Chains A and B, each alone.
Chain A
């Protein structure tokens, strides 16, 4: 029953959410429509369970780094820093959430979020600009005709998207727009349609219990 009950849960919940927007008329015994069952009960349940799921990653991090600290593994000092940062942000944010009218506490937290977390996060992803420059130099090679087509399209888009492209050649912006609105649109649309059809098939398989990857191993 360890696998059968979750499969049944997936089927029942999935069917209720599926039938909600496309049916009218009351569910027998419950005397309410599927859409009402969704909006009054199941949808709020999802918010709460999803909120618990959000905390899962944080708790797992605490567990892993707590382990590193307790066994004083290599780099345990950094784990201490991580745990302290997590506890500081977690506890302060929780206090703000539980008493949102306390604007002084909110302002205190905002400073750390805006001037510590915000720039750290932004800078982490800003590194990608430098990596892509390095990759452009070292890895983007015209090894085949298809790769050449890809690269030429990319170069036209880069020149068209940047204001300087129009200074180099009047038609770069128009060419970039055409590439985006015609061939790219066709390719992306086909991918969207294909993904939707594939997603539909996979969703049906999950609903019917044929796909059980989300349940994990024994």
Chain B
């Protein structure tokens, strides 16, 4: 029982100080919360500096890649937002990043998430096995799949006034979305419980050694 490793005690203190919030907000929790935020920001800052050094400064100074001065300057300009009167300069690197993101995903998201997903919905309603027997289960599933996609897409048509039969299909889409969100919610519950279990295992197995 009880680990003799000081770091395991630090870990246990960190977990218990956050969990103390479940009883009520207290100074220990606030301390831990601020350490967490500071640590997260510090780690990210350190990794960012590492990337600037590794992918910017080193190639600039050792491989004569002088064009890298441009992104280094643009990156520094991002911080102009903190200087009164010069905040407008920070729009340039932001515009670059936004242009990058838009250009990169404009074609690819249409291809991967619209075209290929739509193609995957083009499946048979009437399914037979290799012996030629009609498969009711698979056919039913495929029908739900295809009709479901169309019904939910129909629900999101806002540019025309929906009247029956479009409205009926749209309503069916709404019901299907309730099932979809219910599945998502079930998974959210499972996911949150997993997060708590991880910390409990740290306490019981690593710190207390009673698992």
- Whether the complex brings A and B within 8 Å at their CB atoms is answered yes
Question: Could you list which residues of chain A lie within 8 angstroms of chain B, going by C-beta atoms?
Answer: 2-3, 5-7, 9-18, 20-22, 41-42, 44-63, 75, 78-79, 81-94, 96-98, 111-132, 136, 146-147, 149-158, 161-162, 176, 178-197, 199-200, 203-204, 206-207, 214-216, 218
Contact indicator B34/A81 (Cβ below 8 Å): yes
Contact indicator B32/A120 (Cβ below 8 Å): yes
Knowing A46-B100, A129-B195, the reply to whether A82 touches B37 (Cβ < 8 A) is: yes
Knowing A120-B39, A187-B152, the reply to whether A14 touches B47 (Cβ < 8 A) is: no
- For residue B91, which residue of chain A has the nearest CB? A6
How many A-B contacts are there with CB distance less than 8 Å?
A: 417
Extra 9 A-B pairs, beta carbons < 8 Å, given A117-B40, A182-B141: A7-B95, A47-B55, A47-B71, A119-B11, A122-B202, A126-B196, A136-B189, A157-B186, A196-B112
Contact indicator A14/B100 (Cβ below 8 Å): yes
User: How many Å lie between the Cα of A18 and that of B204 in the bound state?
Assistant: 52
- For residue A188, which residue of chain B has the nearest CB? B180
| Among candidates A11, A116, A155, A195, residue contacting B10 with C-beta atoms closer than 8 Å | A116
B51-73 vs A: 1/0 string, CB under 8 Å? Answer: 11111100100000001101110
- For residue B207, which residue of chain A has the nearest CB? A119
Query: Is B166's beta carbon under 8 Å from chain A?
Result: no
User: How many Å lie between the Cα of A9 and that of B99 in the bound state?
Assistant: 7
Using a Cβ–Cβ cut-off of 8 Å, how many residues does chain B contribute to the interface with A?
A: 115
Contact indicator A93/B42 (Cβ below 8 Å): yes
User: How many Å lie between the Cα of A30 and that of B209 in the bound state?
Assistant: 65
22 pairs, A vs B, C-beta closer than 8 Å: A3-B91, A10-B99, A14-B103, A42-B100, A47-B55, A52-B78, A90-B41, A90-B42, A115-B7, A120-B39, A122-B202, A126-B195, A127-B21, A153-B179, A158-B190, A176-B186, A179-B183, A187-B152, A191-B180, A193-B118, A199-B105, A215-B91
Contacts of A81 in B (CB 8 A): 31, 34-35, 38
Contact indicator A49/B44 (Cβ below 8 Å): no
- For residue A157, which residue of chain B has the nearest CB? B186
Contacts of B182 in A (CB 8 A): 149-154, 157, 179
User: How many Å lie between the Cα of A162 and that of B197 in the bound state?
Assistant: 14
| Among candidates B38, B71, B106, residue contacting A204 with C-beta atoms closer than 8 Å | B106
User: How many Å lie between the Cα of A2 and that of B91 in the bound state?
Assistant: 8
Question: Could you list which residues of chain B lie within 8 angstroms of chain A, going by C-beta atoms?
Answer: 7-8, 10-12, 14-15, 18-19, 21-22, 30-56, 59, 67-68, 70-72, 74-76, 78-79, 82, 88, 91-100, 102-110, 112-114, 117-118, 120-121, 141, 144-153, 156, 173-190, 192-193, 195-199, 202
User: How many Å lie between the Cα of A85 and that of B30 in the bound state?
Assistant: 13
| Among candidates A84, A179, A185, A204, residue contacting B145 with C-beta atoms closer than 8 Å | A185
Contacts of B190 in A (CB 8 A): 157-158, 161-162
Minimum CB–CB distance for A178 against chain B, Å: 8
| Among candidates A3, A151, A203, residue contacting B105 with C-beta atoms closer than 8 Å | A203
Contacts of A56 in B (CB 8 A): 78-79
Contact indicator A97/B195 (Cβ below 8 Å): no
Contacts of B12 in A (CB 8 A): 119
- For residue B121, which residue of chain A has the nearest CB? A189
Contact indicator B178/A97 (Cβ below 8 Å): no
User: How many Å lie between the Cα of A23 and that of B179 in the bound state?
Assistant: 43
User: How many Å lie between the Cα of A31 and that of B135 in the bound state?
Assistant: 59
Contact indicator A197/B114 (Cβ below 8 Å): yes
Contacts of B40 in A (CB 8 A): 117, 121
Contact indicator B109/A200 (Cβ below 8 Å): yes
Contact indicator A116/B11 (Cβ below 8 Å): yes
